[in-house]
Amino acid sequence: MLRPLSGSTFLRVYVLLALALVLAFGLALGGFTLVDQVRREQYREQLAEAPMQLLARQLSAEPLEQRSRWLAQHGTELSVELHLHDIESGEFGYFQRARLDAGRVLIEAEGATDWRLFTRLPGEDAILEARLDGIGESQLRAMKTVLGEWLTDPLLRDQRVAELSSDALPITLNDAPPSRLDSAQLARLGAGEVVLHLAPEAWGLTLFLQLDSGTPLESIQWLQVGPVHAFEPMPLSLSLLLLVVMLGVLAGIIYLIVRGVEARMARLELAATRIAGGHLDTRVKVESSDFLGRLGMAFNGMAAQVQALLRAQQEMIRAVSHELRTPVARIRFAVQMVEDMTDDDAVRRQLSGVDGDIEELDGLIDEILTYARLGSDQAHGVELAAEPLECRAMAQRVIDALAGLHSHLQLELAPGEEFELEAEPRYLQRALQNLVANACRHAEGRVLISLHNDLRAVRIDVEDDGPGVPEKDRQEIFKPFARLDDSRTRRSGGYGLGLSIVHKVMAWHGGSVMVDESPTLGGARFSLLLPGRA
């Protein structure tokens, strides 16, 4: 797992983003739970607000000396413990006091069923506390009595009902009996009982209470408390599903974004690889002005500058080589004139040596021009004019051309079947001829050419029985004018450009050249590798 992560920017970034998404998932789940808990506490406070405000208003209307008796009496009727505290008693913290000052109800849970409810008396620094262990029928009946006492005065009913009503616990006063109740329930209301009505379709609980006017002339009114809907937390399965869907969408979007960035980086990598392979006309398509776009523009500028420099260098080499041909031709003409004008053997031998040096210089100029032409074609982006070429016939032509110059050597072509490949005939034959000529200069008595073909590549091996190439020098010999030593008067001769030309020809064909030890003859083995035919 570590190796793919270290080798792929895409995987590394995507894994980090995936970890961030997992962290976001955990935080979101915790947030859902926290929000649900806050909603539950707020729901409890809203339900407890009306009863606690009712008790607080009634208690605040009592004289100070009567409050202890009132707390004991109503505590017994409601089956709850009622206490009065000073807000500065130290039991409440800053935020708790702030909530109480705002008129809110403070709820503290003690175990699974025990509750402590706090509310502030209107206009006073006293806090009313109610301790209960659940709500039963007796408590509802007692609360009905307290509520009936509070709404005894018909002139104040509407105002007091509006003060107690809230969104969580709506309270309404009606002049007509509830239509949803049957005759038996209405009779119970008339007997002073509290009637509860459950609406299963909405899970709402409604409490009905009949208020007597106290005066026969006044009509009877009915009080409706509710409907009170049960708290509905967000189901865990739905929360998880929403989170998973959200994470899936985010993961897909991040995947597309990161994949697009890596695709653009891959194009930069491909362009750099092509330029390193000699295709200096390669450019990167700039799609935007972001940092990758600026990187692409900088890359294109660098490639253009390298191509221009190499083009100028190749043009200079070609110009110098062409200019050298004229004085070389004049020297050759002068040597021939002097040779024709003298019969002295010593002078003729010296002139013959000069003529050999001129031939060598002429060959060097030809090699330089070939090397410059290959580099110039690559710098200008000239496409290779490939055509089908018979490999064995080409190798035989090379042997026929060099056999007469090296009569002391045995040049052989290993047996095999003829096959074709796509290549530029003149340059590929020149590359093979350079390898065979190089092998002839170092061989003791034998040079062997062998051809190998499969579906993926074509390999042409040139082996000799000479001293071979030291392993440390096997990459250096393909550089221009490189030699295995610093002397230019070696027995083998050469200009140091032949293998460089081979390297350029193979790079232009999309292939390569390599050298190792010959397993057959013991000397060097040079191998040309070219793509096979599709």
Closest residue by Cα to residue 388 from 417, 432, 423: 423
CA distance linking residue 171 with residue 227, whole number of Å: 9
Query: Model's pTM, two decimal places?
Result: 0.43
CA distance linking residue 83 with residue 67, whole number of Å: 10
Predicted local confidence at residue 234, as pLDDT: 67
pLDDT digits (tens, 9 = 90+) for 251-262: 777 777 778 777
pLDDT digits (tens, 9 = 90+) for 380-403: 555 556 788 888 898 899 888 888
Q: Judge whether 127 and 105 are in contact, CB under 8 Å.
A: no
- Mean pLDDT, residues 73-85 taken together: 79
What's the mean per-residue pLDDT of the chain? 75
Q: Which helix (H) or strand (E) holds 86?
A: strand 81-86
Q: Which residue has the higher pLDDT, 356 or 468?
A: 468
SS3 of 375-442: the string is HHHHHCCCCCCCEEEEHHHHHHHHHHHHHCCCCCCEEEECCCCCCEEEECHHHHHHHHHHHHHHHHHH
- Mean pLDDT, residues 196-206 taken together: 64
* pLDDT band at 462; cut points 50, 70, 90: very high
pLDDT digits (tens, 9 = 90+) for 402-456: 888 888 888 888 888 888 888 888 888 888 888 888 889 888 889 999 998 877 7
- Mean pLDDT, residues 274-303 taken together: 79
Check pLDDT > 50 for residue 320: yes
For residue 509, give both structure tokens: 């064909």
Check pLDDT > 50 for residue 487: no
CA distance linking residue 273 with residue 286, whole number of Å: 18
Predicted local confidence at residue 376, as pLDDT: 56
Q: Which residue has the higher pLDDT, 17 or 486?
A: 17
pLDDT digits (tens, 9 = 90+) for 354-383: 777 777 677 666 766 666 666 655 545 555
pLDDT digits (tens, 9 = 90+) for 333-356: 777 777 777 777 777 777 777 777
- Mean pLDDT, residues 19-41 taken together: 75
Predicted local confidence at residue 486, as pLDDT: 43
* pLDDT band at 489; cut points 50, 70, 90: very low
CA distance linking residue 432 with residue 224, whole number of Å: 107
Residue found under tokens 């000396």: 65
CA distance linking residue 454 with residue 533, whole number of Å: 9
CA distance linking residue 371 with residue 367, whole number of Å: 6
- Considering 59-63, 276-280, 358-362, the range whose residues carry the highest mean pLDDT is 59-63
Check pLDDT > 70 for residue 70: yes
Closest residue by Cα to residue 208 from 237, 259, 173, 235: 173
Predicted local confidence at residue 135, as pLDDT: 60
Check pLDDT > 50 for residue 134: yes
Predicted local confidence at residue 97, as pLDDT: 79
* pLDDT band at 210; cut points 50, 70, 90: confident
Q: Judge whether 355 and 335 are in contact, CB under 8 Å.
A: yes
Q: Which residues are bridge partners to 81 per DSSP?
A: 131
Predicted local confidence at residue 250, as pLDDT: 77
In the chain, the domains with their CATH numbers are 1-133 (no CATH), 151-234 (no CATH), 273-382 (1.10.287.130), 387-531 (3.30.565.10)
- Mean pLDDT, residues 199-214 taken together: 65
Sign of the CA dihedral 258, 262, 263, 264?
positive
Check pLDDT > 50 for residue 153: yes
CA distance linking residue 328 with residue 336, whole number of Å: 12
Using CA atoms, how far residue 275 sits from 105, 157, 281, 347, in Å, is 76, 92, 8, 54
Print burial letters for 271-309: b (CB count within 10 Å at least 16), e (below 16): beeebeebbbbbbbeeeeeeebeeebeebbeebeeebee
HSE (CB half, 13 Å, CA atoms) of 451? 19
